[in-house]
Structure 1
């Protein structure tokens, strides 16, 4: 009897690691493809989601550009497999010259389909190759999936390093653990004399990692072979495993394989309809392993949401107070911050009806008056007191 497929919703889901960059042109997708191959060469089951919907490139680099996905008997999409890595991409659903002309909501829909509706089978690690920046796709991932962590790819160039800092700060704000920084295009070694020329400066990635207190995973040297192999669909990590670039990728893969990126706190994702015990989220175990400001358990009793935190503290927040504290655009002016919600319009007997996780950093709440558009960050909830509710 074969083991059931692991899915992102199950406790045995693969570790999901996002590969990101603040700006384009730093070689993030090349790094993703080669690190995926290097991880697979260690014996791990690896999948890659090409989350750059508008500019997909992973299938070509892995040699799966001509593959068209099929549909499994269970109605899920069967991913392509190349170099020992499973992959799904928008490039596999369209012709080479067909642009993806999609608005933000459709991009998010495709991204969720690539994760949830693909028959990945058993996986150890699922890499997500993100587009550059801090936009819709990054936010969708952070809010929808339980990311184990993220890696930021940069070059030693000052402009790239400054933008990489912004990407790191964005990840911190949405409570995605930063597993480390990779410095790509680190230096070029002359094949004739062995002299190393630092075309884009040197040491910047390591300095940024040290400055921000995150691990430095390694530097990948400039190597024309990396480009040639990527264009031919033979990642250098597989084609020339003893080359300096491939050795660097192997070191990064080993570092990622050894990082758990444990969030601590209550398991996500969850969507709890109050009164339905089957959907109630289980508390974290053990709670003591969670960071002090991480949500480790929640309950609801006597008209109030009960929150327990990693530092052992507990809050009791009445349903109506939570409704009055909503900061969504319907309840607060986005520019002035002025309250638009009239407290007199909120029934005294209003009740909380549903609670769901928004990534690892917030809760979504639905109420008996039909309101459900507010996002309550953990930081905002921890700061919420009776006095502050009255001032809202």
Structure 2
């Protein structure tokens, strides 16, 4: 029988700025307990995408938290949004990551769209009935995003898009795609962003990838075969797309960091529940100093990661540069999640290696967080560039 983990999670102290924020977190925990956690193990095992859960989150206003109220958003600071995201990821990473990706897909239009574009499209995108996807990576350009090959060529009153995007979360189930395509010369200055409807003729998704984890979250290639997009759906200036993409990724990395902390917290909760209830040699496992020290290290890593992503979020909320801090948070939190989930499997022993308990799933899921939205090797390059400048080519 699949086990969904402790229903009463270890209480996490939160620093929330307003009573409204505290109510939002309480609402999130309630939805997680009722709608997400009880189904997580079974649906992940079956590879089922919980689209109905996203409808519930949308109706509760949890798909639009960091965006302006003027367009249907919650107008919450990133500090609050990320803590909501952590709670969702702790219940099921497919949901937490899905909300992060949806937020990422809305970012380009919210930050770089014209007032008319925002008024026309954002209310529906933020209203909860639509789900977004973000199309930057390609089969031949993952970390080297500036070398993408998908082309957008002028076609009458719009553009014709041709190419293939890869590793797209929500491919085939998204209602809209934020697509980066080449409209000019090679390199980062020849890229433009577009908002493409999910039902656009010529847009299709390949069969989902067969993944180690996150089996309930569809990840696939997206094919664009002569997709016509009116110029009114071009986001930002022609050639501004790479700037749009990097801006979104800085914020998206904070989302991944929060998700990683959520998964790690869920693993710690499970490890505590198991080691305090299971008896060996006449006393609970948690009485043995060697195991207590592992629990202490796990908890310390989680608290440090949470503090790091919240510090970066506060930088963002204050309007200060936060790219270095976002890269640090993504790097540290995802590495910590990998270590914490691996330790949780070890603490549960043979049970931890079975699918009857969720820690093996947490460990498989944690791995992808070290890869998505810039591998952790790329994060180290970003951090070093902030510290020591660009690499010398001389």
TM-score, with structure 1 as normaliser: 0.28
Rg: which structure is higher?
A: 1
- Relative to its length, the structure with more strand (as a share) is 1
TM-score, with structure 2 as normaliser: 0.28
- Relative to its length, the structure with more helix (as a share) is 2
